[in-house]
């Protein structure tokens, strides 16, 4: 059974920290330029309502993945930190999380959603984003890594 939940209580916030740390380790890139440690310590922080969301997925009661949303400008939000544990990949949970975060962005009233991704490591994610209407755009912030892809979707 798959359960999608808002990370609001202390247990879920700790699970969000866990999944985000696993994401950083799996990615193999230092995210300090994004203030990653401070982000973890202050969760839900910039992902808190009313402008943000922090959402987790559980499969058969076990933490499977997560996704987040934050405001980055007037009418513009950013999808962040989509990550699934190895045993959850290919199960459709990633698609459910993306659909949920898009739905939440529309409910909040955002007009556009942006994201960045790293195709050398996240090729399957790019296909998932494209299947939901995301398209490539010029960089909207400075990233120290080569190969980052920036995408946007009109909501």
Report how far Cα 149 is from the mean position of its chain's Cα atoms: 15
**What pLDDT was estimated at residue 5?**
98
* Residue 26 included in any domain: yes
Both tokens of residue 7? Answer: 């990370």
In sequence order, the β-bridge partners of residue 153 are 113
Residue-wise pLDDT tens digits, 92-151: 999 999 999 999 999 999 999 999 998 877 778 999 999 999 999 999 988 767 788 999
Do the domain assignments include residue 152?
no
Length of the chain, in residues? 155
CA distance 65 to 126: 17
| 57: containing domain | 2-111
Q: Does 71 reside within a domain?
A: yes
- Within a domain: 84: yes
Is the pTM value of this prediction over 0.85?
Answer: yes
Q: 77-106 burial string, b = 16+ CB within 10 Å, else e?
A: bbbbbbbbbeebeeeebbebbbebbbebbe
Position 40 pLDDT exceeds 90: no
Q: What is the mean pLDDT of residues 53-67?
A: 98
In a 3-state reduction of DSSP, which class is residue 46? helix
103 with 113: CB under 8 angstroms? Answer: no
Which residues does 131 contact at the CB level (< 8 Å), separation at least 6? none
Band of the pLDDT at 9, cuts 50, 70, 90?
very high
Is residue 117 included in any domain, yes or no? no
Q: Report yes or no on 144 lying in a domain.
A: no
Residue 10 maps to a domain: yes
Give how many domains the chain has, as a whole number. 1
State percent of the chain over pLDDT 90: 76
Identify whether 130 is part of a domain.
no
Assign residue 6 the CATH number of its domain. 3.40.630.30
Contact 7, 58 (CB under 8 A): no
């Amino acid at each position: 059974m798959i359960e999608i939940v808002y990370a609001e209580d202390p247990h879920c916030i700790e699970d969000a920290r866990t999944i985000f740390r696993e994401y950083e380790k799996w990615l193999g890139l230092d995210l300090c330029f994004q203030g990653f440690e401070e982000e973890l310590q202050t969760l839900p922080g910039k992902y808190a309502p009313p402008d943000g969301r922090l959402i987790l997925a559980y499969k058969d009661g076990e933490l499977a993945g997560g996704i987040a949303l934050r405001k980055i400008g007037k009418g513009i939000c950013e999808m962040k930190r989509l990550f699934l544990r190895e045993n959850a990949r290919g199960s459709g949970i990633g698609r459910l999380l993306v659909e949920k975060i898009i739905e939440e962005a529309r409910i909040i009233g955002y007009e556009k959603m942006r994201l960045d991704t790293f195709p050398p490591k996240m090729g399957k994610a790019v296909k998932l984003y494209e299947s939901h209407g995301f398209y490539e755009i010029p960089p909207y912030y400075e990233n120290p890594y080569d190969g980052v892809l920036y995408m946007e979707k009109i909501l």
